[in-house]
A and B are shown apart, each in its own frame.
Chain A
Amino acid sequence: SQKIEQNSEALNIQEGKTATLTCNYTNYSPAYLQWYRQDPGRGPVFLLLIRENEKEKRKERLKVTFDTTLKQSLFHITASQPADSATYLCALDVNGNKLVFGAGTILRVKS
């Protein structure tokens, strides 16, 4: 069956450290993968998109990698800040028609 798995437990890190979140998938062949941030009671907000032929993408303190052989994406936040605390969702495109989301990982950055 098709699955998207993200770290099920919350990730707690100290301010200033690098946070690394994992997204693994099975039985999908996405043309691209996206990461979103969601704060409590709000809708998801787009962060980054990476295509299947791209290994890595960066935006300010964010970095995403995409390994289609391992079927895995890693999402890094460098120099993390308490304001980065949120739920982070990965999403795969399916046939260019829709995004399928993982359950998300809660990140807590402590000062």
Chain B
Amino acid sequence: GAGVSQTPSNKVTEKGKYVELRCDPISGHTALYWYRQSLGQGPEFLIYFQGTGAADDSGLPNDRFFAVRPEGSVSTLKIQRTERGDSAVYLCASSSARNTGELFFGEGSRLTVL
């Protein structure tokens, strides 16, 4: 596709459930980022992939959060035992640069945990 695609656009789940959010980056982009954005805040860094490997996962808040990118393209963010505090918009971005350059963001997946 022409841009970064994220699915689902909206996800409502109950506390304690497992959730997967998918990101399809721009074709050929080697770098992929996950951010989380709460209302009135800027995007908060979660994890950065360069190819298939997680180059920096320092932003993942705890071990309930995990992300994969097995073939160096599509990435999945996985959240176990969701909590109400996980409610936010999860943004994915990709970049063609090895070092941080211009990021192309998707429209985000809005997660609501009831």
Q: In the complex, what distance in Å separates the CA atom of A100 from the CA atom of B42?
A: 9
A98 touches B43 (CB 8 A): no
A89 touches B42 (CB 8 A): yes
Report chain B residues within 8 Å CB of A98: 33, 45, 48, 56, 59, 100
Say yes or no for A97: interface residue by CB 8 A criterion. yes
Taking residues whose C-beta sits less than 8 angstroms from the other chain, chain A's interface range is: 20 to 34
Say yes or no for A15: interface residue by CB 8 A criterion. no
A43 touches B105 (CB 8 A): yes
Contacts across chains A and B counted by CB atoms under 8 Å: 59
Interface 1/0s, chain A 33-60, versus B by CB < 8 A? 0101000011111100100000000000
Chain A residues near B (Cβ < 8 Å): 4, 32, 34, 36, 41-46, 49, 89, 91, 93-94, 96-104
Main secondary structure of the interface of B (DSSP, over half): loop
Interface 1/0s, chain B 65-101, versus A by CB < 8 A? 0000000000000000000000000010100000111
B107 touches A99 (CB 8 A): no
Question: Which residue of the partner chain A has the closest CB to B92?
Answer: A43
Which residue in B40, B45, B104 is a CB contact (below 8 Å) of A99?
Answer: B45
